[in-house]
A and B are shown apart, each in its own frame.
Chain A
Amino acid sequence: MKRFFATILTATAAIGAKAQNRFPKPDFESGYEYPDLQYAVPNELMWDVLDVVLLLALLISAAWAITRRRKPMIWISLISVLYFGFFREGCVCSVGSIQNIVLAMVDETYHLPWVVLCFFLLPIIFAFLFGRVFCAGVCPMGALQELVNVKNGRISKPITMVLGLLPWLYLALTILYAATRSRFIVCQFDPFIGIFRLGGDIELLAFGILLLIISVFTGRPFCRFLCPYGALLSLFSSVAVKRIKITDKKCINCDLCYSSCPVDAIQPPYANTPQEERKEGVKRILGYALLMPLLIVAGAMLMRMSSDVMSRAHKEVRLYDLVTAYEAEENPEIIPLEVEAFYMRGRTMEELQASAEKAQADYRLYSTWIGAMMGLVLAIALIRFSVKRRRETYEIDQAACVACGQCFSYCPQNKVGDSKN
């Protein structure tokens, strides 16, 4: 019966494709002329060039502003929110560019737009040279949260550490879904795009507004606990050539910078005093180092096992499931749109099965790698958390610092210099 239905569908489809001229072209006697319709293609190149030039200009000014000036940073944030956010409606953005880069790596046919490459590489280069100046105010999402930030509510260290693993998980899933050509989850679940476009998916809009409300009370929840690009930048900023310092002068341990930091990136000297024997600490770190391969293997296995579930995000796998479910049904009443279109296109079941299996194999491969990556990240986080090194003064955690410049303006030592000049 189903076969029969399928053949009817294909037959009608074939007729539909051929019978384009059911009615002859009319012969007009009144001298009617066909209207000439034009369809516009916007000049993308102009905007592309402007985007990259402005990105570079803002990055350079942020790198300049990071040397003890807070006011220019607010202007940079405003320009970024207005231009990259509201005017360009949040596209193109560096956070999403990760996906294009991944896709360009795995898919030979995909041509990476040069703008996207610039948006991916420039902030990384700047992070490597000066720290995360991109996050400071050039990224419209970070800038938006920074502009509404009033209070610096502090979240306890262990919670910060656990939540701090989320960006890595997000990055891993981003890579997985982009590499398998399933979906671009960063773009799809961008919480601020609804705000920049003044409308959109209601749940995401609500999530974005919730994040903004949270960022009034504690600094940048999205940057710290979600942003996958921030995770990537933190790798480069932690080994930055020119490291961000609170002050060039001697730290007087006044604690003002610590309370001013919105992202909890300043480590006070008193918090890290080892409470135990040195030997104990070394033992624990060695234990974690031994645990590392175990965590990597466990992560890889876990992700590989769940790869079949995750592969349902792929279109072909979903279609295959739908068609098999439809064909298994006894008396199908409603034919799903996808299944109808599948029969109309005249694709064979074998072809679909082959492509679905290929997608699943891709998922198995990439999710294994990504699971291993997550295991490594977890192991490194454990080790980092248990390394106790005595500090004499307040120091910046270069990986977490978003270079907003709050601490510079709060440091009394910087004020002393200013009044003398």
Chain B
Amino acid sequence: MEEKKNKNINNPIRRKEFLQMCGSVIAGGTVLAAGAKLATKTKVKESDVFWQIDPARCTQCGRCETDCVLPVSAVKCIHANRVCGYCDLCGGYYRSNVKELNTAAENMMCPTGAIERKFIEDPYFEYTINEDLCTGCGKCVKGCTSFGNGSLYLQIKQDICVNCNECQIAQVCVSDAISRVDYATAYKLKE
């Protein structure tokens, strides 16, 4: 301080340089300290980086379809064949109280026709989801969960999901069903 007072009081350039040096030291120190502090918070493996829906909590409100940042939601319906009853009158395939059980559009639960049905043997039918058509609206899931075994359920497809910092549909999910999961449980499958 003394030296500065004596010599450099009339020399603004030197004062500027001195202030700059102080700033550099503070900034450098901050970078080092923050880097070291934050490095302790990272985890390379087994960290919860994926978003996934817990089917036990999901209430099929339909927001997955509309709130995902992608043009077509990364949420798709998944079918657990081992849980399915292979019913002819499927609550996920037909709308409730339809007059005739045929594949006319007004009788179908799925608005995009993404559920494909194949006859296996009397009286069983196999249902398959065409993922390219599925928009994740959850209408079939609601039907299946209310009237059937709950073999249709919604999951976030990890190959489509862009893994946002904060999942947009987790924000609007009414039942808090979406949370971060690790690699091993990237899908919460029903068996």
Chain A residues engaging chain B, CB cutoff 8 angstroms:
16-17, 20-26, 28-30, 32, 34-35, 37, 39-42, 44, 89, 91, 96, 99-101, 104-105, 110-114, 117, 120-121, 124-125, 128, 183-184, 187-188, 193, 197, 199-200, 235-236, 238-241, 315, 337-338, 340-342, 344-345, 389
Contact = CB atoms under 8 A, between A and B. Distances in A.
Contact of A184 (B81, B158, B165): B165
Contacts of A42: 158-159
A26 B83 CA distance: 10
A128 B38 contact: no
B157 A39 contact: yes
A30 B118 CA distance: 14
Contact of A111 (B43, B81, B176): B43
A99 B165 CA distance: 8
Nearest to A89: B162
B47 A113 contact: yes
B158 A25 contact: no
B121 A28 contact: yes
A200 B47 contact: no
B59 A241 contact: no
A44 B46 CA distance: 12
Interface in B51-79: 56-57, 59, 61, 63, 69-71, 78-79
Contacts of B171: 183, 315
B120 interface: yes
A121 B59 contact: no
A403 to B, nearest CB: 17
Contacts of B50: 41
B41 A23 contact: no
5 contacts: A16-B146, A21-B149, A32-B120, A117-B38, A241-B24
Contact of A24 (B35, B69, B85, B162): B85
B23 A40 contact: no
Nearest to B57: A345
B35 A121 contact: yes
A114 B149 contact: no
B80 to A, nearest CB: 9
A17 B56 contact: yes
A121 B36 CA distance: 11
Contacts of B87: 23
Given A344-B175, A345-B175, A112 B27 contact: no
Nearest to B76: A39
Interface stretch (B1-9, B93-101, B104-112, B181-189): B181-189
A101 B38 contact: yes
B41 A112 contact: yes
Contact of B189 (A39, A128, A183, A239): A39
Contact of B23 (A96, A101, A114, A238): A238
Nearest to A243: B20
Contact of A338 (B31, B79, B174): B174
Contacts of B47: 111, 113
Contact of B20 (A28, A105, A239, A337): A239
